[in-house]
Chains A and B, each alone.
Chain A
Amino acid sequence: MATTAEPIDVIKTKIEQLDVAEAQRELGAGAEPVLLDVREPHEFAEAHLEGATLVPPAEIGDRIAELVPDRAQRVVLYCRVGNRSARAAYELQGAGYENVASVAGGIEAWQELGLPVVAPEGMSRDQRMRYSRHTLLPEVGVEGQLKLLNAKVLLVGAGGLGSPSALYLAAAGIGTLGLVDDDDVEESNLQRQVIHSTERVGTPKTESARIAIEGLNPDVDVVEHRMRLDSSNVIELLRDYDVIVDGADNFPTRYLLNDASVRLRKPVVSASILGFEGQISSFMPYEGPCYRCLYPVPPPAELAPSCGAAGVLGVMAGVMGLLQANEVVKLVIGIGEPLIGRLLIYDSLGTRFTELKVRRDPECPICGPDAAEIPESELGKFPDYDAFCAGAPLG
């Protein structure tokens, strides 16, 4: 059998290559060739040519005799871009197959011409192209991408943390992104709030973010909630969403968000930043600890200055916001190990991550065993968080 260790451009001169138009003519003609897809199963599942048989490159040598007993039979091979199929064609030629061709440019070139493929329901041709780097990942695949496209994620805060996470969640194809913020874009935001722009200074942040997201990915339905989260609106707001991203800038909102999300059993991916440090954890009600298990009471103002008062490295917002986006994607698709019961601290000056264990607090008033079941009529009734956090900063 011929060696396939030769350079791919040399191999391509020694085999017959069909361009997409030629391949289409031949595949549509009466005497149909045997059509082999020489990619991996998850790529085949994403989209393949009609009538193709899947034979991953590693299996060709063992299976070809059974698939094509007649060495004079016409065989057309394709892969994603035409390299694996060229090598496979060369290998078959060396094994005595006389009439083998590879489709130059592969299924990507085929799809670029808008030619039909067999693809699972649920994604348009444009979406298959847009998310191909996701669907190529076996852990994501078409199924995972469809989960992202159907997911509803609420970002509390369209600021430092919300900006990067909103951009990447939008690019990832999260179907619905809700944005809660009542501020306008200010010049001092632009050092880290990368979803906004100089020309949109003075624009409401939710509107500015929507403009950026729509420019990036028209698949995303952006829902603007131009308001401050409070006891009167939190339950109704959270109800419609699958995952909450906490990028709030104050303690009352963080405690309110926690208590409401535990009541509604919604996961919260929570991060905070200050100076050169960031913290992140994922709170999955009743599966892991909640925010109050970690921090039963808020610190006094002097121990918890705000970014506005103490400053924050702009890059920190990006690092922590993207760690949040990463957690959201994992939670939506159901892969990997979320940060449940773990608090990750990032020290950007030392470039060090520290991981701490977070346990459920058996005395937690919100998710502990003694936390009473709350009737539907009481769901929206909360204590006074401003009083609870008195002394803690509000921004």
Chain B
Amino acid sequence: MPTVKIPPVLRSETGGEAEVAAAGASVGEVLRSLVAAHPGTERQLFSGEGELNRYVNVYLNDEDVRVLDGVETSVAESDTVVILPAMAGGA
């Protein structure tokens, strides 16, 4: 099953887990599986219209899904989906 890397800001919604296994053949399906298992992540990943929020960067392994096929990008069993939020802290 593909693995989703959970950023620190979402870990309160995954019971502290930094990595979650989530089924799916596409990036969108994998993220929907994550949301099904951890409903608290939905509001932060998806807009009210069900679109992936623009401020959430998603990578398949090391590649931004925006340069692949977005949420339609195919995912293999051994792949890792990385959720990356911007951080501004420097002080």
Contact = CB atoms under 8 A, between A and B. Distances in A.
Interface of A: 157, 159-162, 189, 193, 246-251, 254, 271-277, 279, 294-300, 302-308, 312, 343, 345, 347, 349-350, 354-359, 361, 392-393, 395
Interface in B18-76: 18, 44, 54-57, 59, 62-64, 66-67
Main secondary structure of the interface of B (DSSP, over half): mixed
B91 A297 contact: no
9 contacts: A157-B90, A162-B90, A248-B90, A249-B91, A277-B7, A299-B85, A306-B88, A354-B82, A358-B64
A347 B44 CA distance: 21
Contacts of A312: 89
A297 B57 CA distance: 10
A161 B90 contact: yes
Given A303-B44, A304-B9, A273 B87 contact: yes
B1 interface: no
B63 A357 contact: yes
A248 B64 CA distance: 25
B9 A157 contact: no
Nearest to A347: B18
A42 B88 CA distance: 42
A295 B84 CA distance: 10
A102 to B, nearest CB: 53
A246 B89 CA distance: 10
Given A355-B62, A356-B62, A356-B64, A393 B88 contact: yes
B91 A308 contact: yes
A253 B84 CA distance: 20
Select the residue from B54, B63, B84 with max chain A CB neighbours within 10 A. B84
